[in-house]
Structure 1
Amino acid sequence: MVNDRSANEVLPYVPARSGGLVLTGADAPARCRAIRNAYPGTVVVMDHESHTRRTGTADTPFGLKTVHGWRDLDLAGLDEILDGQRDNRASCAVTPTCFIPAEEAEGAPVLAAVIAQANQLRRDDTVVLLPCSWRWLRRSALLLLAGQIRACRHPVALIMQADGDPLERDQAAEGLRQLCRSCPRLMLWRTDLAAFDAMGHGALGAAVGVAAVLRHGVAPRPGNGGGGHKPHPVVLVRRLLRYHRVATLQDWFAHVAPWTCDCAVCKGAALTRFTDREADVIAALQHSVCELYALHEELDVTLTGDERIGWWRQQLADAWEYHRLLASRTGTDIPFPKVLQSWRRPSPMALPGVEEQQGQQRSGPS
C-alpha cells in the first residue's frame, strides 16, 4: 500500500507475478490508469480512504470525498464509484467504506449495512473494505464480525485501527488468527508484518504499508490531517521482523560493524547508511519493499496449513535469536517486541459457531 506520489519509486521492486499495489491519495485514479497502461499485467487497485474521513452509519455506510465536498453513496452511487475505478483500469473495485464504530451497539448496525448493501451489488469484481477498530477482534465481538464477513458474497479486506500497533492490544493477535482461520475469503490491508501471520493462518493476501501511517488504520478526521513533517528513513530489518528507524540502528551499531543487506537496493551496503535526504528516504523505502517480497517469496512456496505455519514459526524463532545476539553484540537492551511474542504462542482453533450464526442470518427475514 503506497501513496500515489511514491508509486513509481516502488513499482520496479514489486514482482509482477505475486505482487501488486494498493494506491492511496488524490491522484490514485490517474496513477492507477498510467501504471496499468504501461504494465497491464501488474495488479493495481485503489483505496479512497473514506474510512479516514467519516464514521459510517447504518443509512450511509459508504461515502467519498470529492472536489465538491463529501458525498454519501446509495447503492447506485456506490456502483458508479466502483465502475469509475474499473474505468481507470483498476484490477478490481474496492468499496469506499466509512469507518465502522468501535462499540458493538453502535457499530453492529453499520457493519451489517456494509455487508447487506455490498451483497446487493451485481458484480464479481469487487472487494469489500471493512475498516474497524482493533476492539472488534476481542472475544466479545469476534463471532459477530466473523459471521458478517462469512455472509459477504465478495472477498473482504480488513483494516484494523488503533493508536499504535493494533495487535499489541489485549486479545487482538489471537482474535485475528481465529478470524483468518474462520473466514476463507479474508484479506488484511493497511498492515505490517502481521500480513505473514495472517496469511500463515489462512488469509488470502495482504497489503503492507510502505509508510508507518499506512501500516494500521487511523481514526477518522474531517480535514486532510497530518502533513508538514519531514520524512525520516525507516527500514525493514528482516532478521528482526521489525521496521526500525535508521537512527535507532545507528545508535545500536555506534561501536560495532553494522549489519549489511544483499537486496537489490543495498547490494551489500550497511543498513545504517541512510540519511534524511530525500534520495535516501526513497532508497530505504525500496529496500523495505525488496525485503518484504523476499519474505513473501519464501512463504509463497509453502503449502497452506501446517507447513506454512511451521515456516512462520521458524522465522519468529530466528528473530528471537537475532534479538538476543544483537543485544549481546552491541551491549544494548533490545527487547523482543510484544507482538512477536504473541505470534510465538500456539495457534488457536477456528471460531466455533460461525457457520451456525451465518445460517441463522440467512434464514431471517429478507
Structure 2
Amino acid sequence: MTIHAANFQELKIDRLSREFGNLNALREVNLTIRQGEFIALLGPSGCGKSTTLNILAGLLPATGGGIWLDDKRIDQLRPEERGFGMVFQNYALFPHMSVEQNIGFGLLMRGMAKAERKKRVEEAIALVRLTGHGHKLPGQLSGGQQQRVAIARAIVVEPPLVLMDEPLSNLDAKLRLEMRAEIRRIHNTLGATTIYVTHDQEEALSLADRIVVLKDGVVRQVGSPDQLFAHPEHLDVAEFMGFRNRLPGTVVSREGTDAIVALAAGGQMRGRVRNEVKPGDAVIVAIRAEDLVHSPAGEGLPVKVNSSEFRGREFCAFGVSADGADLAFQSHASLGAADAVHVTADPARVLVFADRPQ
C-alpha cells in the first residue's frame, strides 16, 4: 500500500478558547494527542466539540490559546496549509464529479502528476471497498457509499490528522454499525490519527482509544472507553455515559469507597463513592437502566410503572419513584401501566456523587 498517514509525534492543544460575544464556546481546552490515536470528542449539543474540530481544521479562528503539531504552531495557518483531512456530516461531495474525481480533487489541487494521482485514487477506492464505482456520480450511490467516498477523499492526501464531524448521523442504524467498523478498520490500516466528533456514547465507546467529554466548553474528563464507562468522575459525565437514573438521598455511612444512602424515595441503597462525601451529606445515586432491575420478590425501591418496551431479550420499563424521580429499568416480563413493583441494583454498579455544583 502506498497510501499512509503522515508522521508526527504529537498534536498539542494548549488553552484553546473561543468566544462568540459574551458566550464562551470553549474555555482553555488542553489536550495532547499522540500519532495513531483515535480520539472521540463526546458531549451534548452546544458543548464545544464541533467548535474544537472547526478550529483544528482552520474553519474557525481561536480567540485564545494555540495548537502545535510537534514544534510547529499551526492555528495561525490557513486550512490548506495544515494538510488535514476532513469528513463532514453531509459528505460535502461535488455532485457533478464522479467518485474518482471527488476523491482525487485534493491531489489535483496539489499539482500531483496524473499517473500518480490515478494510482493513489484507485488505491483509496479499494481501501474503502468501492471498486467498480469510480465512474459513478454521488447521486447514484447510497448514503453509506457516499460516506465512503468522503472518507477516501480525506485520506488520499495522506494527512497527519483526519477530522470527522458526526459522519454517521445521516445513516440508518444498520449502516451506522457497518460504517463504524469500516472507519476503525481504515484507521488501523493506515496508522492514521483521527479526531471524531459525536454525541453518541455508544459510537465513542466502540471506536475511540480515548474519549474527551466536554460540557459548556470545558473538558470534564479524558480517558479510555472502559475508564469512562466504569469510573466517570462527575455526575454529568456519568449521565452521558448512560447513568440515566438519578435518585437523591443522604449518606448514612461510609466505609472506604462504599457508602450506604438513605433514598428520598424510601429505603436504602449501597454504591461506590465517586467524590468526597461523609455521613449526612446530600448525594445523588446514579444507575444505568440496564443495571436497575425489576425484583419479583418485592425487594428494593418501590416504583409505579408508566410503560414498558420490548427490547429483544428483555423489557425496558419506565416508571416513577415515590419522590417523583423518573426511572428506567430492566424487566424479564412485560409490565403494565400503573403496576406497583420494586427494583434493585448490584452495589458494584451504583455510583454515589455529592449533590453540589461540579
**TM-score bracket relative to the smaller structure:** 0.3 to 0.5
Greater length-normalized contact order (CA 8 Å, ≥ 6 residues apart)? 2
Relative to the length of structure 2, the TM-score reads 0.36
Relative to the length of structure 1, the TM-score reads 0.35
Q: Which has the higher helix share?
A: 1
Between Structure 1 and Structure 2, whose CA radius of gyration is higher? 2
